[in-house]
Structure 1
Amino acid sequence: MAYNTGTGSPYQQQTPRRPPVNAGRLWAGGVATAVVAAAVGIVGLFVTRGIFDIPVWLPDGQHRVVDATAAEVAVWGAFAALVATALMHLLLVTTPSPRQFFTWIVMLATLIAVLWPFTTGMSLASKIAGAAIAGVMGVAIGMLLNSVAASATRPNLPPV
């Protein structure tokens, strides 16, 4: 049986210190993730429109590979990655198990993005293609930012 030696409450336990967040490293990785997410959207449109001839996110009867919607998809992907980076930063400095919470939040947000095309009036092929693009984009954001967060919270080791 352990007795209180007068050095503090027996109910107080030392909580391990959270490793500091290297914000510069986290945000540099977030910007790189934004570039990847934008590229995933553009490549997804090139594949679906250019190779499979599926008019995803185009008005009926139009078949273009590149148009303004390609830029919109890229911008929304980059925006989602930057918002996810901000979320990761917030979780890293405020919550226990931040990467686990982040993974769940990104999975649920990705699920919403995957289901969204099915609420539109697009053809079934366009809905499936849009869902696939959103899904790959969400998975890329989640995986990359989890790796970036691990790197940005690594304790500094003394030089050898």
Structure 2
Amino acid sequence: MKPQATSKRWPWVLLSLVVMACSGALAVPVAWAVKTQVQAESGEPAPDAAVAVYLLRLSSGEDAGLRRVLAADRRDDLADQWRAYRAEMSRSGNPPSKLESGPLRVGPVRDGVALVATEVHAVWWQGQVSLSGSRHAWRFEVREDWGGWRVWRVEAPVWCCGYVRVDRC
């Protein structure tokens, strides 16, 4: 009878060894994945960097990476505002090829809050000729949040009547 009792234990012993071996082997990739996710969610190292990402995402029309530079408390509202602005650009009939901004001017940082201002203009490419729209002031309130800088508020001119004529909206 003893051989049967011992033979029934071997699968459990083997399973325990496999679990221990795998948990050690999985610890490194899991730790790397967690570290990468934390870094991806950490915001930007400076106020102007957060604004640059926001404007780049707006210009490209791709929202990949946008949410990480939006303040957590206002993330959904700011993402909706971003999508609405993109929709206005598309609705105008001739969306720009890109948006360009001037220098990003960062005001004094007070209590983890900075104001960033810039001028943004639209660029349309027609063949090999580019047409540049007028410059309009944009203002951002950026806050230090969980170890990185994130956009808290965006003041942008309206697209219709601002960048394009009313009859195109």
Query: What range describes the TM-score normalised by the shorter chain of this pair?
Result: under 0.3
Q: Which has the higher strand share?
A: 2
Q: Which has the higher helix share?
A: 1
TM-score normalized by structure 1?
0.26
TM-score normalized by structure 2?
0.25
